[in-house]
């Protein structure tokens, strides 16, 4: 049902794009917007993952360059019965992570250096389990195409602002008011649809990530730290490209924290509450505490290797590496 809902929301995003084209240029504008939508969806299907990774300066790592982090992903992928995704690290002090790719066979997961410095192994496994749940649910394609369309709608709004008043108002459905509506309402509608898609998928990925990692309490603890870290440390690339904000596990943008109509993510407090309820139910079912062997054994350190015993990592300060 959630997949059907996400598909309907994606269709709504395409509809907003076509409506904006119609308001700017009537039938001809809508036809041009339709062709653009087809082209951008096709381009996003094949290239959106590369675009997002490049946008954030992500560097691919392997078992030699980041042994601890890579081993966590490898173990989780096996538990989730997924192909091993490509693994990336982003040199950014804000603790955060995302997944991308058109399908599980072409998936990639990325984490920032801020996240790897802040969290312990259990928490990193919880976060990356969440990202692999997005891959398993095929959310990554929907969310990256949504980001592409949202950016395109913003481009149409800019076009309406700079050039909307230069055409023949009588040829447009609402005359000169069309450009104003596109400038104001189209980006707002796109934002609401984009947020609805993100919020629909995040709760499911939390549940799936807890299942994959086997440790809902660790994911809850990680979300607490990530929320604090994201508020304290700015992410310049995300601020410059807000259409990609919904890809991250926590909102990378400043100023939005409540679970309201304009939030890019569900309330972190609500997500944590759900995960801790899952953890409590799991302990009641098993009648045993979390097993020590569920954590990874120590491995040799390497670049971007998480700290194995930093169980109470402090939030990094802005600009600190």
Q: Which of 78, 105, 121, 131 is the catalytic position?
A: 131
Burial (CB count <10 Å: 0-12, 13-18, 19+), residue 234 = middle
83 Cβ contact partners less than 8 Å away, ≥ 6 residues apart: 77, 104, 105, 107
Calpha distance 246→10 (Å, rounded): 14
pLDDT at position 232 is 95
Asked whether 178 and 24 are in contact (CB, 8 A), the reply is: yes
Active site residue 171: no
299 Cβ contact partners less than 8 Å away, ≥ 6 residues apart: 67, 68, 71, 305
Q: What is the pTM of this model?
A: 0.73
Q: What is the mean pLDDT of each run of 10 residues along the chain (321 residues)?
A: 61 75 73 77 79 94 97 98 98 96 93 98 98 92 72 68 51 54 65 67 93 96 96 93 86 62 76 93 63 46 48 45 41
pLDDT at position 133 is 96
Calpha distance 9→195 (Å, rounded): 10
pLDDT at position 268 is 93
Q: How does pLDDT run across 177-213, given as a tens digit for each residue?
A: 656 666 666 666 666 666 666 666 899 999 999 999 9
């Amino acid at each position: 049902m959630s997949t059907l809902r996400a598909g309907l929301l994606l269709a709504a995003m395409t509809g907003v794009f076509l409506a904006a084209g119609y308001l700017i240029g009537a039938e001809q504008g809508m036809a041009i917007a339709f062709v653009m939508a087809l082209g951008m969806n096709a381009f996003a299907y094949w290239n959106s993952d590369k675009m997002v990774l490049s946008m954030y300066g992500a560097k691919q790592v392997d078992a030699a360059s980041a042994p601890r982090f890579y081993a966590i992903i490898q173990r989780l992928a096996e538990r989730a019965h997924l192909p091993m995704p490509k693994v990336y690290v982003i040199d950014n002090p804000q603790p955060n992570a995302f997944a991308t790719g058109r399908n599980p066979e072409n998936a990639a997961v990325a984490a920032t250096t801020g996240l790897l410095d802040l969290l312990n192994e259990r928490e990193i496994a919880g976060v990356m389990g969440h990202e692999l749940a997005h891959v398993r649910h095929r959310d990554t394609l929907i969310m990256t195409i949504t980001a592409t369309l949202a950016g395109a709608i913003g481009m149409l709004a800019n076009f309406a602002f700079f050039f909307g008043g230069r055409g023949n108002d009588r040829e447009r459905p609402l005359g000169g008011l069309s450009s104003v509506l596109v400038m104001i309402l189209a980006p707002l509608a796109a934002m609401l649809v984009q947020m609805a898609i993100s919020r629909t998928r995040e709760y499911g990925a939390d549940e799936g990530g807890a299942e994959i990692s086997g440790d809902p309490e660790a994911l809850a603890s990680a979300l607490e730290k990530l929320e604090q870290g994201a508020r304290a440390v700015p992410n310049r690339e995300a601020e410059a490209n807000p259409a990609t904000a919904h890809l991250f596990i926590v909102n990378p943008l400043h100023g939005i924290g409540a679970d309201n109509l304009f939030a890019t993510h569900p309330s972190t407090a609500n997500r944590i509450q759900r995960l801790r309820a899952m953890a409590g139910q799991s302990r009641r079912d098993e009648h045993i505490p979390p097993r020590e062997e569920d954590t990874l054994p120590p491995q040799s350190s390497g670049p971007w290797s998480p700290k194995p015993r930093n169980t109470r990592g402090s939030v990094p300060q802005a600009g600190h590496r």
